[in-house]
Amino acid sequence: MDTQTFALLMADEGRGLLERVRGFGAGDEIALATRLRKEFPAELVAAAMTQERLRQRGKAKFGDDAARMFFTAHGVEQSTRVAVADHRAARIAAAGIRTAVDLCCGIGGDALALARAGVRVVAVDRDPLTCAVAAANAEALGLAERVEVRCADVTEVELAGYDAAFLDPARRTARGRVFDPEAYSPPLSFLDTLAAKVPCGAAKVAPGIPHEAIPSGMEAEWVSYAGDVKEAVLWWGEELVEQPLRATLLPQAASLAAATPRQAPHGPVGRYLYEPDGAVIRAHLVAEVAEEVGGVLVDESIAYITADTLVPTPFAHAYRLTDVLPFNLKRLKALVRERNIGTLTVKKRGSAVTPEEVLKKVKPSGRTSATVFLTRVDGAPTMLLGHPA
């Protein structure tokens, strides 16, 4: 879809067509398209049906708002889940920030979240179609008065006068995902320019960013949603920086922070095993969770915590252990058969064996369930069998 086709989709005829295709299923596609092409141009029908498919995909990130929004294929894939964007926006608004510039705004998800939080936003992107979609989304959600969209190169935007900035650099090329922060567009080093001109702000980066790549004086926050690490955010400015390292878990809004990473002690396996959330592990805050539950690591280099007591924590899933065995798949297969285990969840950390390989060899076929952890205990390959506590 180009800007001209999108403009036709936004016109009265196009909006009427969007209503006609709302909610169609895969089995209806050919018949519906054939029928509509008798009334509308084929290109417009294709654009409307593509838009409806994107809205259906967008619901996973934007909820009910997706039915009113507009998307591009790249935009729906790269946009931030609304709960994550709202978390960032709430933090920015709570600092008393009233104006912000959103650089590399995409289809406008972050700008919309900031506007809902009471911040006036100038959203900037260099792609004309993306800008048109972002502006349409602000209008569709009743936020056009708080969101101004500009089409420009973000590295050339005048930054004076804003309270804060938000940057979401492109981390993909035609060849796929980019892992080197200096290969982002704009590169991570652009943050130096941004931080020098805007007093505070945030930049979204890949969750796998090395700690040594984090600019000095900034806070790095890793955010997970329902146990899945979604992003890392680099914060700068006195109004926003609290601790250098932070892990935030959504939707429960639990947050853990520390000034520096610490090494937790390791020791013998106890009655329970704690599996820290991925954001905790990325933020190097496993020692804080171990201290909270009164536990130790099973191995000095493995992020599994063990303890003899069960302590509720949002930062780790707890399992009651039934068996601690040297790694041996034949022994595991016999134990699975003996316990009548038919659903075996395989988790691994520090083991080269894949879950698929384990399931293929063990062949669980009973009526009960269990979880097996393939890991190392004090350096030795070990199997830990248990159940969620």
Q: Is residue 267 part of a domain?
A: no
Do 7 and 45 belong to one domain? yes
Domain endpoint, select from 200, 229, 255: 255
Residue of 11, 172, 193 lying closest to 106 (CA atoms): 172
Domain endpoint, select from 64, 92, 110: 64
Does the structure show a pLDDT above 80 at 382? Answer: yes
The whole-number average pLDDT for the span 141-156 is 96
Do 122 and 225 belong to one domain? yes
Do 344 and 384 belong to one domain? yes
Q: Is residue 265 part of a domain?
A: no
The pLDDT, as a whole number, for residue 178 is 78
Do 240 and 298 belong to one domain? no
Do 107 and 242 belong to one domain? yes
Q: Is residue 289 part of a domain?
A: yes
Residue of 363, 368, 317 lying closest to 340 (CA atoms): 368
Q: Can you give the residue range of the structural domain that contains 36? A: 3-64
Pairwise pLDDT comparison (25 vs 47), residue with the higher score: 47
Do 247 and 289 belong to one domain? no
Do 112 and 222 belong to one domain? yes
Percent of the chain predicted with pLDDT > 90: 90
Do 367 and 232 belong to one domain? no
Q: Is residue 147 part of a domain?
A: yes
Task: Tell me the pLDDT band of 24, cut-offs 50, 70 and 90.
Answer: confident
The pLDDT, as a whole number, for residue 354 is 95
The pLDDT, as a whole number, for residue 254 is 97
Do 160 and 226 belong to one domain? yes
Task: Tell me the pLDDT band of 29, cut-offs 50, 70 and 90.
Answer: confident
- CATH number of the domain residue 100 falls in: 3.40.50.150
For 354-373, how does the pLDDT look when each residue is reduced to its tens digit (9 = 90+)?
999 999 999 999 899 999 99
Q: Are 352 and 336 in contact (CB under 8 A)?
A: no
Does the structure show a pLDDT above 80 at 27? Answer: no
Do 14 and 109 belong to one domain? no
Domain endpoint, select from 64, 90, 113: 64
Q: Is residue 84 part of a domain?
A: yes
Does the structure show a pLDDT above 90 at 234? Answer: yes
For 207-218, how does the pLDDT look when each residue is reduced to its tens digit (9 = 90+)?
999 999 999 999
Do 85 and 58 belong to one domain? no
Q: Is residue 92 part of a domain?
A: yes
- Among 32-36, 266-270, 275-279, the minimum mean pLDDT is found in 32-36
Q: Is residue 260 part of a domain?
A: no
Q: How many domains does the chain have?
A: 3
The whole-number average pLDDT for the span 227-256 is 95
Q: Is residue 318 part of a domain?
A: yes
The pLDDT, as a whole number, for residue 9 is 93
The pLDDT, as a whole number, for residue 177 is 80
Lookup: tokens for 153: 């190169």
The pLDDT, as a whole number, for residue 379 is 93
For 243-276, how does the pLDDT look when each residue is reduced to its tens digit (9 = 90+)?
999 999 999 999 999 999 999 999 999 999 999 9
Do 29 and 149 belong to one domain? no
The whole-number average pLDDT for the span 39-62 is 94
